[in-house]
Amino acid sequence: MKLVLAAVLGAASASKLRLGTERAAEIEGVSLETAYAAFLERHGLQRVGDTVSRSERMATFARSHAKVTEHNRKSDRTWTAGLNRFSDQTHEEFGRVLGYRRMGTWWNSTTSTSFIQTDSVHYAESLDWASQTHSGKYFIDQGACGSCWAVAATGALEMRAEIAHKKAPSMLSYKELVDCVENPQHCGGDGGCGGATGELAFEYISKNGLSASASYTGDREATEHCKTGSRSAVVKANSFVKLPVNKLSPLMMAIQHGPVVVSVDGGPWGSYESGVFNGCRRDATVNHAVLLVGYGHDATVNMDYWLVRNSWGEWWGENGFIRILRHSSDEGDAGYCGTDYDPKQGVGCDGGPSTLPVCGMCGILSDSVYPDEVSSF
């Protein structure tokens, strides 16, 4: 078997010039069964006791390979697709990692503060808080739990605490948020692994603080039950700031001082491997929370981009990050604006609107929030 796998992966390497990525060429010249076995071994995947049949897995894998190959043959592409751990997952399985639920316009909180617009602001030419902080290297793989909202909120708190106090806190417990944050208006679900919001996370943190991951115990896949006896806050944010919806300048201003939790349509991201991503439709369905850590310009493709840390582990994308096309406006065509026609997937709050406006690639300007007045104990 080792020799067969070596031959398959060798064929993949030989195809690199044709497709632009080694990972995207794993089934050329070999049978689907052999290629799929090689894929499972390469990515360390175990399908013991799988509820999905092997034939269905292989069919999904073959479709993923075809899409990756088709995309990477485009001469004008700005990003490269690849095969990864999502490549044999069903639509329902992948959907579980998209657990962000937008609050819409009704949000009201005693601990949120209004964003103050400043007329004259100097923006750095480029910015990368992840490389400037130790806590920027705290990577989380959320697995099958729809806890992206908790991971993103925890990351923002960790990095802003380090920026404010010149010292990285211990890795904080996103699991505490999954277990303990209540979702009374059922925004897209019942909270926990079923999805919630950055606002709800920061509301909880403003009242309770957040424990270190080493002190708050729990299994992320377990049924969520708040373990009050394990809580021991080490960082707190007295308030949080919700940015104006679909506005570019406030987000640019906010990121100058630290990372921001942003909402996006993560549905098209599954096969992202590298480059500046521009693969979302204008009418994005906002369904995923991520951490905006900076921005820059890619001279190779002559594109401005947002730098985002995802919650799918370092194996995904550019070592856990994705660069997303950054538009120069927040209006009309120039702002890549559209409509979210499926709020129940991404918003779904009781009494919420049937549609919501979205702007920016993947709707990145649509719903943003960050912790304020951060203190470490």
Catalogue the active-site residues. Answer: 148, 288, 310
Look at the block and give the residue holding tokens 């070999």: 30
Tokens, residue 358: 């979205």
Give the integer Cα–Cα distance in Å for 284 and 353: 16
Q: Going from the N-terminus, what domains does the chain have, and what CATH number goes with each?
A: 27-98 (1.10.287.2250), 127-376 (3.90.70.10)
Tokens, residue 137: 């290297």
Give the integer Cα–Cα distance in Å for 216 and 4: 45
pLDDT per residue, tens digit, the chain (377 aa), is 333 334 444 344 333 323 334 444 446 678 999 999 999 999 999 888 899 999 999 999 999 999 999 999 999 999 999 999 999 999 999 998 987 666 554 445 555 565 666 556 789 999 999 999 999 999 999 999 999 999 999 999 999 999 999 999 999 999 999 999 988 776 645 689 988 889 999 999 999 999 999 999 765 454 568 988 889 999 999 999 999 999 999 999 999 999 999 999 999 999 999 999 999 999 999 999 999 999 999 999 999 999 999 999 999 999 999 999 999 999 999 999 999 988 656 545 666 788 899 999 999 999 999 999 999 98
Whole-prediction pTM value?
Answer: 0.89
Per-residue b or e along 185-206, where b marks 16 or more CB atoms closer than 10 Å to that residue's CB: bbbbeebbbbbbbbbbbbbbbb
Give the integer Cα–Cα distance in Å for 10 and 31: 14
Work out the number of other CB atoms within 10 angstroms of the CB of residue 40. Answer: 16
**63 residue type, one letter:** R
- Angle of CA points 285, 289, 292, to nearest 5°: 115
- 3-state secondary structure labels for all residues of the chain: CHHHHHHHHHHHHHCHHHHCCHHHHCCCCCCHHHHHHHHHHHCCCCCCCCCCCHHHHHHHHHHHHHHHHHHHCCCCCCEEECCCCCCCCCHHHHHCCCCECCCCCCCCCCCEECCCCCCCCCCCCCEEHHHHCCHHHCCCECCCCCCHHHHHHHHHHHHHHHHHHCCCCCCECHHHHHHHCCCCCCCCCCCHHHCECHHHHHHHHHHHCEEECCCCCCCCCCCCCCCHHHCCEEEEEEEEEECCCCCHHHHHHHHCCCCEEEEECCHHHCCEEEEEECCCCCCCCCCEEEEEEEEEEECCCCEEEEEEECCECCCCCECCEEEEECCCCCCCCCCCCEEECCHHHHCCCCCCCCCEEECCHHHCCCCEEEEEEEEEC
Question: For residue 272, which phi and psi values (nearest 5 degrees)?
Answer: -60, 135
Tokens, residue 254: 């906010």
